[in-house]
Amino acid sequence: MFFLHPRFLFLLLLVPLWWMGEAFYRRWQLRSRLEFAEEKFQEPLQLGAGKPRFPGWKLMWSLGLACLIAALARPQGPPVTAQEVPRPSLQIYFVLDLSLSMLARDVAPDRLAAVRAEMERVLRNLAGDRVGLIAFAGEARSLCPLTLDHDAVAETLGRLRAGMLDPPGSNPAAGLELAREKLQARPGPGKVAVIFTDGESNRPGDLAATAARAAESGVRVYAVGVGTLAGAPIPVGRNFWGKQVYRVHRGRRVISRLVSLDLRRAARAGGGVYLSDQEPGRAARGLVSRLKRLSRTLGQKAVVRRYTEYFPGLVALAFILFWLELLGPGRGRRP
């Protein structure tokens, strides 16, 4: 046997608390009577209070209350039926920018850390959906195939570092194209590619055109812009004295900026929307709300079991105990 909602069992603590409260009330009541009673009645009152007696009415109410609380916890017995039903799910590829520009700190603590936090928020709301992970720099690479094991995706995500892929550079179109190819080969609706990037590109490839091809293949494209329009320099390490060193090109410090216009065009061409990652949690909430509205594929079957329910018997027993207490002798003589 197991409980479907075990958290309700904590309410059982109310039963001993009620007994303690009733005992304190009896002592207070006796003390009040002794204070105002005449001297000749004080001894009989004390003797009567000290006589042991079986508190049947309290026991009935306690057992009845315990039965109702246990019924709230929904005790489940052996399974009575088991059947396989298709599990509807989305097929989602996260496409993540791992170029060096993701080290810029115009979003705290840096762009990659902010994206990782947003992706983890989204993962927590995709129960039952298949999720895969693609990363890109100068080229794209599949890091995690579509899977229901979101913990595996989160673990892979936690190991990613900006600049870890070769060759260096930034080619968001390549990442989106790889996601399109992998999703196109899968049957059914509910195919989604979500690209997280600052939109900068120094490789050939049109992101909007790639998103349009994805839409033609039945893949909906969402774009999450990371960074700010003002931008920030790209840290590349520290010098001998521990001072932060930034990327320099032709003697000038490189400033990486969010290219939101290209991302908006790509999302529009891909049938999705553009979301900004500047406010923590905002992109994740917007993305999850939109994903929940999409049609899903009836994929792998899941085994659904129905268990024996014990709560009707507990409820019936509780009312029997209450009824016996109400009909019991001495009901009107409770102290």
For the chain, give every domain's residue range: 2-80+308-333, 91-230+257-295
3-state secondary structure of 124: coil
Whole-Å CA distances, 272 to 23, 222, 229, 287? 66, 5, 22, 10
Average pLDDT across the chain, whole number: 85
Residue 301 pLDDT exceeds 60: no
Residue with tokens 């009824």: 323
Q: Which residue has the higher pLDDT, 240 or 231?
A: 231
Residue 188 and residue 297: Cα distance in Å, rounded?
A: 5
Q: Which two tokens stand for residue 127?
A: 């129960």
Q: 80: part of which helix (H) or strand (E)?
A: strand 75-89
Superfamily of domain 91-230+257-295: von Willebrand factor, type A domain (3.40.50.410)
Q: 58: part of which helix (H) or strand (E)?
A: helix 56-72
DSSP β-ladder status, 75-89 and 140-147: unpaired
pLDDT by residue (tens digit) across 32-67?
A: 665 655 555 555 555 555 444 446 667 888 888 899
- Judge if pTM exceeds 0.75: no
Q: Which residue has the higher pLDDT, 332 or 218?
A: 218
pLDDT by residue (tens digit) across 258-287?
A: 999 999 999 999 999 999 987 888 899 999
- Residues 225, 194 contacting (CB under 8 angstroms): no
